[in-house]
Structure 1
């Protein structure tokens, strides 16, 4: 977590505890600099973040004060309702459209009430991801012993692809370099590793193989959110956009410098979309894994 977010979360917790209360001043940027030993730019980002979350407001002649309604009062929806609502928002607007303030507004509750259930947006996204994964467990009726390792790994990959299609923000939330500790997401990796158990791979190769397949699906799925956003902004789906580009495309291909691209684009049986791309790469990836199986002594 960044330094400014850590400080902002600490100040948000103080506000939630009523110290300071609504209408009272919070620490100034200079006080934040002195107490936390940070630069002015960082202190300013702290105040800006709290203001964006609806926790504080600027009061002329006074400074920055706690906003009225920032401190929770009365009962509030539970964590499960928060997470489900956050998923609904992200499904419609992406992770960029999701904020604590936006979530609180959707639930008609004070922004600070959110912090009773989650520490920050990172934890909220973790819970969202894990809930989606929990609703989509690995195929319970399949096993490598009965169905073969390849059928099992492919089935889980296609299940994950369907999740990414329904929740286009999910691919942005998943990371394999700094993974969030989501138990149900980790169960997907465990299941794939179990399916690969019979290939005779050592533990490093087994884990890397499982993550490679998942990362391939996730990497392809990143395009889904971009595609949805582009369609929303332009009002054109992929096919309509391609037709709108025909004149420019023809001019580029007319140079004769791209003969193979020209052959593909002019082919009547041309087939290319994200589903085709996923299937092509997945089959080659599984072919490659089949070649890595250990040779019996």
Structure 2
């Protein structure tokens, strides 16, 4: 798409101001109304041919004007009540002073960007633009984007601790030994809530290359402590811990994948499935997949994939199966596989 100057910005303006002017005009003309999503940083970067940092600066300018607001996992939308567009101002090339900058402000701004736009939209320049400081200022506090991501992860994992929800179970060693299953449930659900709030976390690290940050270790220590004291050898104990973590982490990865897909295609999950209806019908009618066809035909309104439900179902199944392994034969809470 080719963008012109004039009402959408003067030719001599920096690129981000021309983007701001165009989106501002769309809002003023009613093309974008309160609650409508405005282009994401990635969409702006592709449409205008600018860097992500420039796109972030444009959205930050609109946000500071009160025209748009960021909503986690939705993106940036037109604000509920749109104030009159302010007179266009040319920024001074070198501001005399900058807002006070701290490491905590940098990390919080970075988390806000990742929550609203996804981890792919994060850049050091974009964080600086959001904070209204010079592009290189953030490097005085964080040497690289990789280090910033680790700090973001540590901050996110530190927002909630299983010790808060399970303080009673943590009061004594005896309680920890007897109530291992309840403690594991507390730990798993605490992690799931954190991933729900910050889906980009599931894109960082892996089972083979885990994140070694203190606040994630807090969650790991809770789970290991719940499993300890049952006579498991160290390898078996750690295997069970990794298996439980992979259930939470693996499902959480789909939260960010769906958000990325929606941002890229502009279609919600339901809209995407509707667009694939002819392909689905062809598979059902082929006769090659009778069980699949029977199940699809039994759903009145289609299958509703609910990650929260799958999380609880999987957690319960894992714990049912692991109970005889952790507690030993003859003391299972319910039916499960034989001890391994």
Preserved CA contact (<8 Å) 1:90 1:98: yes
Distance 1:232 1:112 in 2: 29
Match in the other structure for 2:30: none
Q: Is the 8 A contact 1:84 1:128 kept in 2?
A: yes
Which of residues 176, 179, 185 in structure 2 aligns to 1:148?
A: 179
DSSP 3-state at the match of 1:293: helix
Cα distance change on mapping 1:155 and 1:267 into 2, 3 Å: farther
Secondary structure in structure 1 of the residue aligned to 2:136: helix
Task: Quickly say closer, same or farther: Cα 1:74–1:275, change in 2 above 3 A.
Answer: closer
Aligned to 1:89: 113
Work out whether residues 164 and 170 of structure 1, in 8 Å CA contact, stay in contact via their aligned partners in 2: yes
Unaligned runs of 5+ in 2: 1-50, 55-92, 330-340
> Who is 2:308 aligned against?
275
Unaligned runs of at least 5 residues, structure 1: 1-50, 55-67
Q: What is the match of residue 155 of structure 2?
A: 131
Match of 1:14 in 2: none
Partner of 1:3: none
User: Structure 2 matches for 1:1-297, cutoff 5 A?
Assistant: 76-138=100-162, 139-143=165-169, 145=175, 148-268=179-299, 270-293=303-326, 295=328
Task: Tell me how many residue pairs correspond in the alignment.
Answer: 231
Question: 1:125 aligns to what SS in structure 2?
Answer: helix
CA distance in 1, matches of 2:140, 2:53: 15
Q: CA deviation at 1:236?
A: 3.1
Structure with more relative contact order (C-alpha pairs < 8 Å, separation 6 or more): 1
- CA shift, 1:200, in A, is 2.1
Determine the C-alpha separation between the residues in 2 that align with 1:258 and 1:276.
26
The alignment's TM-score, normalised by the length of structure 1, stands at: 0.70
- Asked if the contact 2:124–2:145 (Cα under 8 Å) also holds between the matched residues in 1, the reply is yes
Q: 2:168 and 2:153 mapped to 1: Cα distance?
A: 24
Deviations 1:213-239 (A, max 9, x none): 112211111111111122233343323
The structure carrying a bigger helix percent of its residues is: 1
User: C-alpha distance in 2, partners of 1:160/1:94?
Assistant: 19
CA contact (8 A) 1:76 1:113 kept: no
Summarize the Cα distance change of 1:252–1:75 in structure 2 as closer, same or farther, 3 Å threshold: closer
Contact in 1 for aligned 2:227/2:326 (Cα 8 Å): no
Question: Judging changes above 3 Å, is the alpha-carbon distance between structure 1 residues 259 and 130 closer, same or farther for their aligned structure 2 residues?
Answer: same
Deviation at 1:53, TM superposition (A): 8.3
Q: Deviations over 1:119-151 (max 9, x none)?
A: 211111111111111111112424271782112
Equivalent pair of 2:53/2:129 in contact (CA under 8 Å): no
Q: SS at 2:154's partner residue?
A: helix
Q: Quote how far apart the aligned CAs of 1:75 are.
A: 6.8
Structure 1 residue 257, shift from structure 2 partner: 0.5
Deviation at 1:73, TM superposition (A): 7.8
CA distance in 2, matches of 1:274, 1:148: 26
Contact 2:251–2:307 (CA<8 Å) still a contact in 1? yes
CA contact (8 A) 1:189 1:211 kept: no
Cα pair 1:197 1:206 within 8 Å, conserved: yes
| 1:73-107 Cα shifts (integer Å, max 9, x gaps) | 86741000000000000111111110111111111
